[in-house]
Amino acid sequence: MAEERILLIVGGGIAAYKSLELVRLCRKAGLAVRPILTQAGAEFVTPLSLAALAEDKVYSELFSLTDEAEMGHIELSRSADLVVVAPATADLMAKAAAGLASDLASTTLLATDKPVLMAPAMNVRMWEHPATRRNLAQLKADGVLFVGPDEGPMACGEYGEGRMAEPPAILAAIQAALSVAGARPLAGKRAIVTAGPTAEPIDPVRVITNRSSGKQGFAIAGALAELGAQVTLVAGPVAQPTPPGVTRLDVETAREMLEACEAALPAEIAVCVAAVADWRPQTAGARKLKKGADGPPPIALVENPDILATLAKSPKRPRLVIGFAAETHDLEENARAKLAKKGCDWIVANDVSLPGVMGGDDNTVAIVSRGGVERWDRLSKGAVARKLAERIAEELS
Ligand code: CTP
User: Mind listing the pLDDT tens digit for each residue in 122-139?
Assistant: 999 999 999 999 999 999
Q: What is the pLDDT of residue 118?
A: 98
Sorted by sequence, the CB contacts under 8 Å of residue 338 that are 6+ apart come out as 323, 325, 347
Ligand 1 atom nearest 311 alpha carbon: 7
The percentage of the chain sitting over the pLDDT mark of 90, rounded to a whole number, equals: 72
Given a cut of 90, is residue 168 above it in pLDDT?
yes
pTM value is 0.64
CATH superfamily for 5-182 is Flavin prenyltransferase-like (3.40.50.1950)
Render pLDDT for 79-136 as a digit per residue (tens, 0 to 9): 788 999 999 999 999 999 999 999 999 999 998 878 899 999 999 999 999 999 999 9
Given a cut of 50, is residue 1 above it in pLDDT?
no
Domain ranges (residues) in the chain:
5-182, 190-396
pLDDT grade for 70, boundaries at 50, 70 and 90: low
Nearest residue (CA) to ligand 1, atom 12: 324
Residue ranges with strand state E in 241-319: 246-250, 269-272, 279-281, 301-303
**Residue ranges in 232-366 assigned as alpha helix (H):** 254-264, 307-312, 331-342
Q: Is 359 left (phi over 0), alpha (psi -120 to 50) or beta?
A: left
Testing ligand 1's pocket by substitution, the residue of 210, 233, 308 carrying the most ligand atoms inside 8 A of its CB is 308
CA–centroid distance, 262 to ligand 1, in Å, is: 17
Q: What is the pLDDT of residue 185?
A: 86
Question: Coil, strand or helix: which one is 193?
Answer: strand
Nearest residue (CA) to ligand 1, atom 18: 325
CA–centroid distance, 41 to ligand 1, in Å, is: 52
Average pLDDT of the chain to the nearest whole number: 91
CA distance 220 to 316: 22
Q: Catalytic site residue 156? A: yes
Question: Coil, strand or helix: which one is 304?
Answer: coil
Domains 5-182 and 190-396 share a fold: yes
Testing ligand 1's pocket by substitution, the residue of 330, 338, 350 carrying the most ligand atoms inside 8 A of its CB is 338
Q: What is the pLDDT of residue 113?
A: 79
CATH architecture of 190-396: 3-Layer(aba) Sandwich (3.40)
